[in-house]
Amino acid sequence: MNRRKLLTMGSALIASKLDSRTASGDAKEALSIEQFQPRSMLHAPETKVARAAYPVIDIHTHITHAGGLEGPGTIHFAASAEECLAVMNRKNIRTMVNLTGGYGANLQQVIEKLPAAHPDRFVVFTEPAWSKAADPDYPRVQADLIEDAHRRGAKGLKVLKTLGLYLRENVTAGKLVSIDDRRFDPMWEAAGSLNMPVAIHSSDPEAFFLPIDRFNERWEELHAHPDWSFYGKDFPSNRELQEARRNIMRRHPRTHFVCLHVADSEDLGYVAECLDSHPNMHVEIAARIGELGRQPRASYQFIEKYQDRVMFGTDAVPGGEETPQQVFNDQLYEIYYRFLETKDEYFDYAPAPVPPQGRWRIYGIGLTDQMLRKVYSENAARLLGLSA
C-alpha cells in the first residue's frame, strides 16, 4: 500500500471521529491539521459585492475540455451556454473566454455552441495537438492547425502546463520537451501573425517544487492533489520553466503572451522585471488572489504600475468541486470582486471551510475606478479585438 492510500485511510478514520471530538471539546486531545477549522473572531466589516462595478471579461475559464497527450478524444461540456449565462447575467460578466476549446472538429462544436450561438458572450481559444508533437512534420502541421482554428473562429491559443511538465520527446515517454523547443516556433509565429494572443500557463507555486513535508506551506493542497507536485524526478525548477517562457517571448516579439496566474504571483519583482523587458507580455490573476491578497500593498502597486497589462481571470470550472477556489458560481465572483473593489480585511479567498491553497486569508486592494475598468475588461477587449 502506498503512502497516499494510507494517509487517505487515516483521514477517513479521523473524519468518522470528528463529530464526537468537536462536540466533546476535550482540549487535551490531539487534533489533526485536517480537522482544525479556526473561525476568525475579528469583527471586520464585510462588503458584499454581488455585481462587478463594471462589465467583466473573464479571460480564463474552462467550460469545455478535450483529451490531452493521448489525442483529441471527444469534447466535454462542463456546462451549457444557458447555465453559464445565468451566472454571467447575475454577476455582470459580459464575456467568458473558454480557453480549452481543443482543435479541429472538437473546436468546431465548441464554437457552434458558444460564440456562434451567443456572440460577444463567449470567446474560444484553440489548443496545440500535443499527440502529434513527435511527428517529423509537426512544426508545419501545428502552424496549419492554428490557421484552421482561426478560420473556425478561435480568438487565441491556450498552452497548458502540459508544455514543460508533461509533454515528452515521444509524447508520453522520453525526455521532457522544453517550453522553448524550436519545433513550436512556427506555432508561436502563426498565432502572432493572426493576432491570436497566447494564454500560457508555465510553472506553478514554488511549494509544488519542494518536498511535501512539514515546512511546505501548501501541505494540505498537495496532500489533496499529490499529482500536482513536481518535486524531484526530472522536472525543471519553476524558474527554469519561467525563463524558457521568456525565451519564446523574446524570440516572437510580434506574438502577445498572456502569462496565466500572474506569471509568478509569489515573486512580483520578477514578474515586473519580465514585463519591463517584454512589451508583448501580459498577465491575468486567475486562481492567485490567495497570493495577491496576502501581499495587498505590493499587489496594489503592481497592478497600478502595469494597469494596462493585467487582466481579470478566475480559472473557473463549472462543477469543479475538488478545487473550491475555481468552482464556477456566484460566490467565486463575489470573492474576486471583493478583493479588487474593497479594502475589506482578512477574508477567505475561496468558498471552503479550510483555505484550500494554504492557511491564510486575504485583504482587499480597492482599485480605483480607472484601474477596475482596465482590469475587468478594457485590456482584454483590446487584446482580443472585441469592442470596448
Binding site for Zn ion (CB under 5 A): 315
CA distances from 84 to 157, 303, 319 (A): 22, 28, 11
Nearer CB in complex with Zn ion: 62/347: 62
Nearer CB in complex with Zn ion: 315/341: 315
Q: Measured from the CB of residue 315, what is the shortest distance to Zn ion in angstroms?
A: 4
Q: Measured from the CB of residue 283, what is the shortest distance to Zn ion in angstroms?
A: 14
Note every long-range contact of 13-20, with CB atoms under 8 Å and residues 24 or more positions apart, other chains counting. Answer: none
**Residue of minimal Cβ distance to Zn ion:** 315
Q: Measured from the CB of residue 21, what is the shortest distance to Zn ion in angstroms?
A: 37
Q: Measured from the CB of residue 157, what is the shortest distance to Zn ion in angstroms?
A: 14
Name the phi and psi angles at 59, rounded to 5.
Answer: -80, 0
Helix axes 138-152 and 185-193, enclosed angle (nearest 10):
20
Nearer CB in complex with Zn ion: 356/364: 356
Q: Measured from the CB of residue 228, what is the shortest distance to Zn ion in angstroms?
A: 13
Nearer CB in complex with Zn ion: 130/300: 130
Q: Measured from the CB of residue 160, what is the shortest distance to Zn ion in angstroms?
A: 7
Q: Measured from the CB of residue 61, what is the shortest distance to Zn ion in angstroms?
A: 8
Q: Measured from the CB of residue 62, what is the shortest distance to Zn ion in angstroms?
A: 6
Nearer CB in complex with Zn ion: 181/315: 315
Nearer CB in complex with Zn ion: 145/286: 286
Nearer CB in complex with Zn ion: 180/315: 315
Structural contact between residues 204 and 241, judged by C-beta atoms closer than 8 angstroms: no
Nearer CB in complex with Zn ion: 54/166: 166
CA distances from 374 to 44, 306, 382 (A): 29, 10, 10
Extract the C-alpha cell encoding 28: 487535551
